[in-house]
Structure 1
Amino acid sequence: MTPESGDRAPGPSEGTGGTGPPAANPYARTYRHGTLTVVEAAGEIDMASAGSLAEHLHTATEGERPDVLVDLRTVDFFDCSGLRVLCRADSRAREHGGRLRIVSGSARIRRLLRASGLLGRFPPLPELPEPQG
């Protein structure tokens, strides 16, 4: 069974016209912090909302050497759908010669990363680093 167009989150290029950052939504917004691109996630990141985060991460990992921070400090819930989005974005950033890191002080996020074997790939920073450049 295929989902109806109204039942799915927009793809990475839908709704943005392929130019500029995607519009902020209840689950994600993107902004610059010095030389870094910060994608701030909020609320519950699960199967229903992961596409909204993915849209921002897809755009943030375009171009040469993207340096992306995913700020999870205001996330209330994060499940394997969110992990899948992080892994895809991290792979894309690496393909473009860049990196993706996360910011989180949440013990729940740390436990999820440890249980999934991803803590080494995404060691959380406690806060945003000082802006460079």
Structure 2
Amino acid sequence: MTEGLTSSSYDLRVPLPGPYGRVYRSRTRTVVELHGEIDIAAATLIGAYLDVVTAIREHQVVVDLTHVAFFDCSGLALLCGARRRTDENDGRMWVVCDGPAVLRVFRAGGLLEAFGTLPTLEAALAAD
């Protein structure tokens, strides 16, 4: 489905299912802005969208968690898979998060350092 696409060869503006957020382009990056509660039910629905976004070759993806009220290990597993696909396709992924409860899940999973979360969307859009 995404074979042959590069991060500059398409325009993506897609609402995520239910109340879970949206996907849009900002500068040279695709932003996946998540909302609400990211639990196993939400992760199942969101996963298909992240699969498409992260399968694009040399893609730059920002996952924005600043509007997330609840985040559990299924959300963390979702991001780990997205990060792996992005890396396999020579892309980059940044995670924006400033909420103590969400950051606590990254710490508990031992992945805070690995993801190197950024506190604002602006910081992620400007990151190298």
Q: Which TM-score tier does this pair reach, normalised by the shorter chain?
A: 0.7 to 0.9
Q: Percent identity?
A: 42
Secondary structure of 2:70's aligned partner: strand
Displacement of 1:56:
2.1
Select 1:61's aligned residue among 54, 75, 80. Answer: 54
Secondary structure of 1:121's aligned partner: helix
* Aligned residue in 1 for 2:6: none
Residues paired across the two proteins, number? 115
CA RMSD of aligned residues (A): 2.1
TM-score w.r.t. structure 2 length? Answer: 0.80
* Structure 1: gaps of 5 or more residues: 1-19
Moved >3 Å (runs of 4+): 20-23
TM-score w.r.t. structure 1 length? Answer: 0.77
Residues 95-110 of structure 1 mapped to structure 2, 5 A cutoff: 95-110=88-103
* Aligned residue in 1 for 2:28: 35
Q: Which structure has the larger Rg over C-alpha atoms?
A: 1
Paired amino acid for 1:56: Y
* Aligned residue in 1 for 2:9: none
Structure number with higher helix proportion: 2
Select 1:113's aligned residue among 106, 109, 114. Answer: 106
* Structure 2: gaps of 5 or more residues: 1-11
Secondary structure of 2:112's aligned partner: coil
Displacement of 1:21:
6.0
